[in-house]
Structure 1
Amino acid sequence: METKRIVYDDQVVRAFVLASVVWGIVGMLVGVIVALQLAWWPANVHEMLSFGRLRPLHTNAVIFAFVGNMIFAGVYHSTQRLLKARTWSDKLTWAHFWGWQAIIVAAAITLPLGLTQGKEYAELIWPIDVAVAVVWLVFATNFFMTLKERNEKHLYVAIWFYIATIVTITVLYVVNNLQLPTSLGHSYGVFAGVQDALVQWWYGHNAVAFFLTTPILGIMYYYLPKAAERPVYSYRLSIIHFWSLVFIYIWAGPHHLLNTALPDWAQTLGMIFSVMLWAPSWGGMLNGLLTLRGAWDKLRDDPVLKFFAAAVTFYGMATFEGPMLSIRSVSSLAHYTDWIIGHVHAGALGWNGFMAAGMFYWLVPRLYGRELYSKTAANWHFWIGTFGILLYIVAMYISGVTQGLMWRAEADGGGLLYPNFVETVTAVVPMYWMRLIGGTVYLLGFVVLGWNLLMTARHGKPVETAVDVPVEPEEPKAPWQEIVFGKPVMLTFVLGVLLVAMAVVNELASTVIAVVALAVALLGTIAIGFGKAKHGEKTWHGMLEGRGLLFTVLTVVAVLIGGVAEILPSVAIGVHDRSTTPQQPYTALELEGRDVYVAEGCYTCHSQMIRPFTWESARFGAISDDDDSLWDYPFQWGSKRTGPDLAREGGRYPDLWHVNHMLDPRSTSPGSIMPAYAHLGRNHVDFDRTRGKLLALQNLGVPYSHEQVAHAADDAREQARGIAERLSRDVEVDSDSELVALVAYLQRLGRVRSEFEPTRAPDGEGGVEVSRAGGAR
Structure 2
Amino acid sequence: MIAQLTTNERQFAMVMLIVLAVAGLVLAAAGRDDLLGGQGLLIFLVGLGGIFGIISKYYSPEPTEARFAYYYDDPTKAGIVIAMVWAVIGMFVGDWVAWQLVYPDLAFDAAWSSFGRLRPVHTTSVIFGFGGNALIATSLYVLQRTSRARLPDQLSPWFVLFGYNLFCLLAVTGYMMGITQSKEYAEPEWYADIWLVIVWVVYFAIYMRTLARRKEPHIYVANWYYMAFILVVAILHIVNNLAVPVSFGHAKSYSSFSGVQDAMTQWWYGHNAVAFFLTAGFLGMMYYYLPKRANRPIFSYRLSIISFWGITFFYMWAGSHHLHYTALPHWVQTLGMTFSVMLLVPSWASAANALLTLNGAWDKVRDDATLRFMMVAAVFYGLSTFEGSFMAIRTVNALSHYTDWTVGHVHAGALGWVAMITFGAIYASVPWLWKREGMYSAQLVEVHFWLAVAGTIVYVFSMWNSGIIQGLMWRTYNESGTLAYSFIESVVAMRPYYIARAIGGLLFLIGAIVGCYNIWMTIRTAPQVAREPVSNAPDSVLVGTPALQPGE
TM-score by length of 2: 0.83
Aligned counterpart, 2:535: 468
Cα distance in 2 for residues equivalent to 1:432 and 1:127 = 37
Asked if structure 1 preserves the Cα contact closer than 8 Å seen for 2:369 and 2:445, the reply is yes
Aligned counterpart, 2:97: 34
The answer to whether 1:383 aligns with 2:439 is no
Aligned counterpart, 2:157: 93
> Which deviations, in whole Å up to 9, do the C-alpha atoms of 1:495-531 show, x marking residues without a partner?
xxxxxxxxxxxxxxxxxxxxxxxxxxxxxxxxxxxxx
Alignment identity in percent?
47
Write out aligned runs for 1:708-719 (5 A). Answer: none
Shift of 1:104: 1.5
Cα distance in 2 for residues equivalent to 1:462 and 1:134 = 36
The answer to whether 1:459 aligns with 2:522 is no
Cα distance in 1 for residues equivalent to 2:122 and 2:254 = 23
Which secondary structure state, in structure 1, belongs to the residue aligned with residue 402 of structure 2?
A: coil
Which secondary structure state, in structure 1, belongs to the residue aligned with residue 385 of structure 2?
A: helix
TM-score by length of 1: 0.59
Cα distance in 1 for residues equivalent to 2:278 and 2:184 = 15
Aligned counterpart, 2:72: 9
Which secondary structure state, in structure 2, belongs to the residue aligned with residue 180 of structure 1?
A: strand
Residue type of the alignment partner of 1:29: F
Which secondary structure state, in structure 1, belongs to the residue aligned with residue 150 of structure 2?
A: coil
- Residue from 240, 243, 247 that aligns with 2:309: 243
> Which deviations, in whole Å up to 9, do the C-alpha atoms of 1:546-605 show, x marking residues without a partner?
9xxxxxxxxxxxxxxxxxxxxxxxxxxxxxxxxxxxxxxxxxxxxxxxxxxxxxxxxxxx
Asked if structure 2 preserves the Cα contact closer than 8 Å seen for 1:367 and 1:462, the reply is no
The answer to whether 1:144 aligns with 2:182 is no
> Which deviations, in whole Å up to 9, do the C-alpha atoms of 1:132-167 show, x marking residues without a partner?
111101111111111112111211110111121121
Aligned counterpart, 1:268: 334
**Structure 2 CA distance for partners of 1:462 and 1:187, relative to 1, 3 Å:** farther
Shift of 1:108: 2.0
- Residue from 190, 204, 214 that aligns with 1:126: 190
Cα distance in 1 for residues equivalent to 2:419 and 2:68 = 36
Write out aligned runs for 1:506-585 (5 A). Answer: none
Write out aligned runs for 1:603-614 (5 A). Answer: none
- Residue from 64, 72, 80 that aligns with 2:128: 64
Aligned counterpart, 2:472: 405
Aligned counterpart, 2:28: none
> Which deviations, in whole Å up to 9, do the C-alpha atoms of 1:658-717 show, x marking residues without a partner?
xxxxxxxxxxxxxxxxxxxxxxxxxxxxxxxxxxxxxxxxxxxxxxxxxxxxxxxxxxxx
Cα distance in 2 for residues equivalent to 1:90 and 1:121 = 34
Which secondary structure state, in structure 2, belongs to the residue aligned with residue 188 of structure 1?
A: strand
Shift of 1:413: 3.0
Cα distance in 2 for residues equivalent to 1:279 and 1:191 = 33
Write out aligned runs for 1:667-682 (5 A). Answer: none
Aligned counterpart, 1:156: 220
> Which deviations, in whole Å up to 9, do the C-alpha atoms of 1:448-477 show, x marking residues without a partner?
10001111111104652113279xxxxxxx
Asked if structure 2 preserves the Cα contact closer than 8 Å seen for 1:151 and 1:469, the reply is no
> Which deviations, in whole Å up to 9, do the C-alpha atoms of 1:339-365 show, x marking residues without a partner?
000000000001011111101111101
Q: Which runs of 5+ in 1 are unaligned?
A: 471-541, 547-777
Asked if structure 2 preserves the Cα contact closer than 8 Å seen for 1:314 and 1:350, the reply is yes
Aligned counterpart, 1:444: 510
Cα distance in 1 for residues equivalent to 2:403 and 2:527 = 49
Residue type of the alignment partner of 2:225: F
Aligned counterpart, 2:412: 346
Asked if structure 2 preserves the Cα contact closer than 8 Å seen for 1:396 and 1:435, the reply is yes
Cα distance in 2 for residues equivalent to 1:194 and 1:386 = 39
Aligned counterpart, 1:24: 87
- Residue from 243, 258, 269 that aligns with 1:179: 243
Shift of 1:446: 0.7
> Which deviations, in whole Å up to 9, do the C-alpha atoms of 1:398-449 show, x marking residues without a partner?
110111000010112321101x211111110111111000000110011110
Task: Count the aligned residue pairs.
Answer: 470
Residue type of the alignment partner of 1:92: S
Write out aligned runs for 1:214-233 (5 A). Answer: 214-233=280-299
**Structure 2 CA distance for partners of 1:329 and 1:231, relative to 1, 3 Å:** same
Aligned counterpart, 2:54: none
Shift of 1:16: 0.2
Asked if structure 1 preserves the Cα contact closer than 8 Å seen for 2:369 and 2:446, the reply is yes
Asked if structure 1 preserves the Cα contact closer than 8 Å seen for 2:120 and 2:186, the reply is no
The answer to whether 1:255 aligns with 2:304 is no
The answer to whether 1:109 aligns with 2:109 is no
Residue type of the alignment partner of 2:269: Y
- Residue from 429, 449, 453 that aligns with 1:363: 429
Cα distance in 2 for residues equivalent to 1:318 and 1:409 = 28
Shift of 1:44: 1.0
Residue type of the alignment partner of 2:200: W
Cα distance in 2 for residues equivalent to 1:120 and 1:64 = 16
Aligned counterpart, 1:395: 462
Residue type of the alignment partner of 1:381: H
Shift of 1:90: 1.4
Asked if structure 2 preserves the Cα contact closer than 8 Å seen for 1:342 and 1:393, the reply is yes
Asked if structure 2 preserves the Cα contact closer than 8 Å seen for 1:35 and 1:432, the reply is yes
Cα distance in 2 for residues equivalent to 1:339 and 1:192 = 28
Cα distance in 1 for residues equivalent to 2:449 and 2:154 = 35
Shift of 1:29: 0.4
Asked if structure 1 preserves the Cα contact closer than 8 Å seen for 2:381 and 2:417, the reply is yes
Cα distance in 2 for residues equivalent to 1:388 and 1:91 = 40
Which secondary structure state, in structure 1, belongs to the residue aligned with residue 181 of structure 2?
A: coil
Asked if structure 1 preserves the Cα contact closer than 8 Å seen for 2:298 and 2:353, the reply is yes
Cα distance in 2 for residues equivalent to 1:264 and 1:275 = 17
> Which deviations, in whole Å up to 9, do the C-alpha atoms of 1:304-348 show, x marking residues without a partner?
111000000000000000000000000000000000000000000
Residue type of the alignment partner of 2:453: T
Aligned counterpart, 1:493: none
> Which deviations, in whole Å up to 9, do the C-alpha atoms of 1:598-636 show, x marking residues without a partner?
xxxxxxxxxxxxxxxxxxxxxxxxxxxxxxxxxxxxxxx
Q: Give the aligned CA root-mean-square deviation in angstroms.
A: 1.6
Shift of 1:268: 0.8
Which secondary structure state, in structure 2, belongs to the residue aligned with residue 94 of structure 1?
A: helix
Cα distance in 1 for residues equivalent to 2:243 and 2:289 = 39
Asked if structure 2 preserves the Cα contact closer than 8 Å seen for 1:342 and 1:397, the reply is yes
Asked if structure 2 preserves the Cα contact closer than 8 Å seen for 1:304 and 1:362, the reply is yes
Aligned counterpart, 2:545: none
Which secondary structure state, in structure 2, belongs to the residue aligned with residue 36 of structure 1?
A: helix
Aligned counterpart, 2:13: none
Aligned counterpart, 1:302: 368
Aligned counterpart, 2:267: 201
- Residue from 145, 153, 167 that aligns with 1:81: 145
Shift of 1:178: 0.3
Cα distance in 2 for residues equivalent to 1:449 and 1:120 = 32
Write out aligned runs for 1:563-712 (5 A). Answer: none
Residue type of the alignment partner of 2:496: P
Cα distance in 1 for residues equivalent to 2:331 and 2:202 = 38
